[in-house]
């Protein structure tokens, strides 16, 4: 029997992470599963869908979050954590969505919002996010006029 409540999570790549239960249940998905299996001593779940890198990031995210009590420190750390490129952000998003971790999802959506803010015009946003333009030709004229907007 384990003295501290730890959950062992197995990732898609078959790597096992030991995470404190209080942190593991930040994920709504794991929380539900824990309740369902009704175990107190230890929980072993198959987290088959999530590749290893993400799982580690999850664990790190929560451990650090719990360690940083001071607000300023936390927000500093959080901004560094999310300072990743679109691909990593995309991975974090998939994991946060799947594991249903609200705080992580919130952090990701904020960061994606920042990407949109940083884009100078319509074309740049389309390229960054890979969006297909399905508007009619007359819209293009309006867009060209919008492209003259500049910001600091």
Partner 1 sequence: MHDPGKGHWQGCEMDSAVSSKTVDVGLVFEQDETLESIFCHVPLIHLVPVCHLSKSWNRALFSSLRHFNKPKPWLIVHSQTSRPPYTTAASSVAYDPRSNLWLRINHDPPVEYVSDLRSSNSTLLYMLSISKFSFSFDPLHLTWHQADPPLVWRTDPVVGILDRRHIVVAGGAWDFEDDPLSVEIYDLETRKWDTCESISAIFEHSAASMWLSIAANTKTLYAMEQASGITCSFDPISRIWLGPFDLRHDPNIYFSVIGISRDNLIMLGLLGNSENVKDIKIWELKGESFELFKEIGAMPKELVEKLKEEHASLSSIKISLTGDVLYIFNPEEPKELVVCEIDGRQRVSRWGSLKNSMVNDGGRVTERAVLTCADVSLGDLRKAMKFGKGSFSTVNNGILQ
Helices (H), 38-101: 52-67, 71-81, 86-99
Binding test (CB under 8 A) with partner 1, winner from 23, 30, 33, 104: 33
Q: Which stretch binds partner 1 (CB under 8 A): 2-10, 55-63, 68-76, 84-92?
A: 84-92
By residue count, the chain amounts to: 152
Rounded Cα gap, residues 29 and 26, in angstroms: 9
Strand-pairing partners, residue 19, are: 7
> Taking Cα atoms as reference points, which of 62, 91, 93 lies closest to residue 78?
62
CA atoms in the 13 A half-sphere facing the CB of 12: 8
Among 16-24, 59-67, 74-82, 89-97, the segment contacting partner 1 (CB under 8 A):
89-97
129 lies in the site for partner 1, by CB under 8 A: yes
Positions that interact with partner 1 (CB under 8 A): 33, 36-37, 39, 43-44, 46, 48-49, 86-87, 90-91, 93-94, 97-98, 105, 109-110, 112-114, 116-117, 119, 121-122, 125-126, 128-135, 139, 142-143, 145-146, 148-152
């Amino acid at each position: 029997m384990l003295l501290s409540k730890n959950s062992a999570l197995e990732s898609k790549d078959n790597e096992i992470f030991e995470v404190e239960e209080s942190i593991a249940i930040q994920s709504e998905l794991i929380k539900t599963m824990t309740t369902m299996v009704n175990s107190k001593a230890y929980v072993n779940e198959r987290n088959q869908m999530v590749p290893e890198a993400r799982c580690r990031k999850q664990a790190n995210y929560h451990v650090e979050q719990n360690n940083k009590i001071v607000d300023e420190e936390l927000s500093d750390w959080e901004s560094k954590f999310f300072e990743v490129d679109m691909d990593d952000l995309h991975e974090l998003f998939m994991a946060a969505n799947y594991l249903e971790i609200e705080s992580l999802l919130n952090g990701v959506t904020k960061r994606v919002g920042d990407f949109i803010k940083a884009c100078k015009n319509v074309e740049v946003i389309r390229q960054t996010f890979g969006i297909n333009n399905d508007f009619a030709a007359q819209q293009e004229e309006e867009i060209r006029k919008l492209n003259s907007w500049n910001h600091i």
